[in-house]
Chain A
Amino acid sequence: MNLIKNMWKDKLAALSLTVIAAIVLAGVFAPWLAPHDPHEVDMELRYAAPSWAYLLGNDHLGRCIMSRLIYGIRPSVLWVLAALAASVGFGGILGLIAGYFRGITDACLMRVCDVMLSFPGYVMSLAIVGILGPGLENMMIAFVLAKWAWFARMIRTSVMQYAESDYVKFSKAIGVSDTRIIMKQIVPVALPDIAVVSSSSFASMILQISGFSFLGLGVQAPHAEWGMMLNEARSVMFSRPELMLAPGLAIVIVVMAVNFLSDALQAALDPKLLRSKPQPQRQEFSRTAKLRGEEVA
């Protein structure tokens, strides 16, 4: 709980957390919050300006932009979160096994990871969508398949350092079972590391997944999605550039909040970073590793 307290001290992080929580809740309760049906077409209201009934105006088919924005949270944020959870879960379990048991299991798993990581992640997801065909589910599958290896690798590194610690050795010596050691002693201490690794991937995943929808490879019409809304707005950008404003701002705000949160999470977990001189090298470790091509993004 110290973690949350530390983060709460950072005003920006607190604000980011509030924004993200509010957006997630809005997405979950979209049917109750949205003023209109997001698919309801009304050609009389085509490009209508904002009014009290339609707070953000209407799009090229007269659909309520506000409602589409709220429903758009589902594919743009909630499903990304689900894809992230799936890849962290899958990669995490493998990383935990590899890092704790070591030996031949570890060697085999890490070679598989090496191969997966030698594909540029974006290209890999693009290829899988290409083979499976465009659509939300296929895009999710593509991202999980392309991302898990990175999480497995990072979580293994983190688990390895705890598996060597004295209290784990002691538990092994007095005959505590492996499952119990993993559940009671490894997972709780590795959890913060997992949180940092996954939060820093969250932002790039939101951008990439909405980019896929922007290109028409992800969510299919008529479902609302922020990237797709921007693509629709782009076709009329010469006459009505203001239509790009709402979905564009929504993405920028979410991504910025996630980025702030991820930085704050790193700082909160490493209180040394808050005090005195920052030690950026450690903070930047995962970022540098990513750019050296060890990442899937």
Chain B
Amino acid sequence: MGAYIIKRAIISVSLLAIISFVTYGLNFLSPLEPAQLVLQAQGVPNITVELIAETKASLGMDQPFLVQYFDWLTSCLQLNFGNSYVSGKPVWSLLGPALLHTLQLTLVSVAGIILLSIGFGVICALREGDLLDKSVRGVLFVLASMPAYLLATLMIWYFSVQLDLLPTSGMTSYRSYLLPALVITLNYAGIYFRIIRSSMLSQLNEDYVLYGRACGLPERTITLHILRNSLQVAVSVFCMAIPTILGSTVVVENIFAWPGLGTLTVNSILGRDFPIIQAYVLVLAAAFVLFNMLSDLLGAALNPKLRKEL
């Protein structure tokens, strides 16, 4: 196990290094000169060639590419992502709190997804083909086919406008979590539910189930064994759900005016605030790699067979 952890960590670190390089390289896709954007964002009336050159020099943009990259990388490692082009504030002072808010929303939603998908997944697998199974599958299928913004708008319209029960937007009390988290949960539960259900179903026909029944074990014990085995797939899937949802809350956050990453990013995109976009990509990609490693390690801890891969 120790060797596996070390190998997996080395892969992750090298992946992180390449990711940072690609993220930095994204800048060069831009059709506009960053220095010009900085000046535009600061509202400088007439941008001259000399002014652009001056800004370039002051931001270190006249250095060779690799020098710029390493400067950027070392400051990123100290959580210094530069200053926003638009407001001039340090990126981390904007991104940090936003990340925290999105993380809170994500954790609440993922908890909801896990509860809903395991609960229904188990019940539906045990009662495969009957009315309950069919109706739960149908409802979750429709919910998963709905765009998040439609679901969110319908919920606001019903719960906040018609019934006047919950706040329509913002993050003021625990009640503000309910609607956005519910939208994300319902939108994604369908996908995760299918995985739990089908991995339960594939276990139902295994030899050990037949053996257990032949030995006269009570059905409850057998169900628990099936659940334990089928959750092995689910552990890695749910682990990855955290970074996946973290990166997919954009639409929901914008509708509910949640002060999180999604709202910040869309505003930065519309304002062409590159440092924030870059930091956003870097933080989420890093989260993705780290959680991927975590899920592999968890999987390996649960199932020794997986340790031999790599």
Contact residues of A with B, CB < 8 Å?
114-115, 118-120, 122-124, 126-134, 203, 207, 210-211, 214-217, 227, 230-231, 234, 237-238, 241, 244, 248, 251-252, 255-256, 259, 277-281, 283-284, 287-288, 291-293
Contacts and interface: CB of A to CB of B under 8 A. Distances in A.
B163 to A, nearest CB: 14
A23 to B, nearest CB: 15
30 contacts: A115-B19, A115-B22, A118-B15, A118-B18, A119-B285, A120-B243, A124-B281, A126-B277, A127-B23, A130-B268, A131-B27, A207-B147, A215-B251, A217-B270, A230-B147, A238-B161, A241-B157, A248-B147, A259-B141, A259-B144, A279-B202, A280-B198, A281-B198, A281-B202, A284-B194, A291-B192, A291-B237, A292-B295, A293-B243, A293-B292
Given A231-B149, A248-B154, A256-B141, 19 more contacts: A118-B285, A122-B247, A127-B277, A127-B278, A128-B29, A129-B269, A130-B272, A131-B26, A133-B272, A217-B270, A241-B157, A255-B145, A256-B145, A277-B205, A281-B199, A284-B198, A287-B195, A291-B192, A293-B240
Contact of A123 (B32, B202, B280): B280
Decide if the interface of chain B is mainly helix, strand, loop or mixed: helix
Contacts of A119: 19, 22, 281, 285, 288
B103 to A, nearest CB: 15
Contact of B236 (A251, A256, A292): A292
Interface in B28-64: 29-32
- For chain B, give the interface size range: 35 or more
Contacts of A131: 26-27, 29-30, 274, 277
Contacts, number: 168
Contact of B251 (A123, A214, A288): A214
A129 B281 CA distance: 12
Contacts of A277: 205
A128 B22 CA distance: 12
Interface of B: 15, 18-19, 22-23, 26-27, 29-32, 141-142, 144-150, 153-154, 156-157, 161, 191-192, 194-195, 197-199, 201-202, 205, 233, 236-237, 240-241, 243-244, 247-248, 250-251, 254-255, 265-266, 268-270, 272, 274, 277-278, 280-281, 284-285, 288-289, 291-292, 295
A227 B147 contact: yes
Contact of A291 (B147, B240, B254): B240
A134 B285 contact: no
A259 B145 contact: yes
